[in-house]
Every structure is written in structure tokens, then in C-alpha cells.
Amino acid sequence: MRTEQIAQLLAVYLLQTAYASSNEQTGMMFGAILDKMLESQNTLGGQAYQSNSKNSTEVFSDIKKIINDSPKDLDEAIKEVSRKYGVEEELIRAVIKQESGFNQNAVSKAGAIGLMQLMPSTAKSLGVNPYDALENLDGGTRYLRNLLNSFSGNKALALAAYNGGIGRMKRLGVDTVEEISKMPTETRNYVNKVLKNYEQYKKL
């Protein structure tokens, strides 16, 4: 089924859903329209391909499954992990904005994946699937929480570790905010940008 056909079917489904509950006759009418559309799209050159055809009830069921299986709203998901791990929503949003620009399909040249740009090894250690937006968000926030704990809640140091690696910080002897200057330029810029994002979100 082509994209435009799916869009047409979805439009009919949404209309049917809106009216069918209050008007049985209207619902039946939309079902009949959809059946005609299905009959048309399952026919090529006058030959019907019945093996692949579906009626309106079956298509409604398929579309409902697609809708119900969609990830929950990202805003609500951020609020949920914020409560779960005790990390400020604004900080989570600030990290996501800098890491992926809220693109859950983002993959960096280094191989970091998803909203919070988890490396495969990090995702594995956290027990999450980095390609799943909600698991990525959960794992990334939990990792950020762990880093905040490691640095007594200091955001700048936790962010430096999130970007540059806690192992590198230990090797370079980075224990204070001032010593972040020992980290690579990328990490220093990252910390500044995320903290700037954080302050902007706090004002909203």
C-alpha cells in the first residue's frame, strides 16, 4: 500500500472514529467508503488481488494498533524520568537539545545514538536499547543522575563527564569546575552550551 493510500485510509479512520460513537449510521457509511477504497487499491488492471485485501474492520484494527503502539508524548516522558531519577526537567531538555536537537533518530559520526546520544557500550551497561526513544531517554537520564551523584550534584562537572568521559576527567585530574579547562575544547564548549540551554529553560 502506498503512502498516499495509507494517508487516505487514516483520514477516513479518524473521521469514522469521530462520528461512529454518536451516530451508528454515519459509522457504517464511513466503513462502506473505506471498503470501496480498499477494493479499488487492491485491484490492478482489472484483476483483484484478494490474498492481500482487507476490509474496513481489519484496516481500522491495523491503524489502531499503529496509533496505540506509538511512543508516548516526549514532554510527558521527560517529566516522568525527571521524577523517577530526581533530575531537573530543564537539565534533561538542555542535554537533549545539545546532544540531538530532539531528533530521536540522530546518530553521530562517533556512533552515539538517539535523543541523549548514548554510545552502544554505555547503552549496554545501562541495559537499554538506544534506538528506542523512551529507553534512550530513561538510560541517558539515569546515566546523568549517576554522574551528578559522582560530583556531588555539580552540573558543570557532570556535564563534562557526560561529554568527555569520566575516565578522561580522572586521568586529567579534573575535580573542580575550574579544572574543566583541562578538558578538550569540544567538552568545554559543550558544558557552556548545555548550561546556557538550562538557564533558558528555567526562565520558561
Query: Does the active-site annotation cover 99?
Result: yes
Backbone phi, psi, residue 145, to 5°: -60, -45
Distance CA 101, CA 103 (A): 5
Q: Which three cell numbers, joined as nine digits, stand for 15?
A: 473521521
Active-site position among 24, 76, 99, 199 = 99
Q: Which three cell numbers, joined as nine digits, stand for 4?
A: 498516499
To the nearest 10 degrees (0 to 180), the angle between helices 74-85 and 133-150 is 30
Instruction: List the beta bridge partners of residue 113.
Output: 107, 118
Q: Which three cell numbers, joined as nine digits, stand for 43?
A: 485491484
* Residue 135 CB-half CA count within 13 A: 14
AA identity, residue 100? S
**What residues are annotated to the active site?**
99
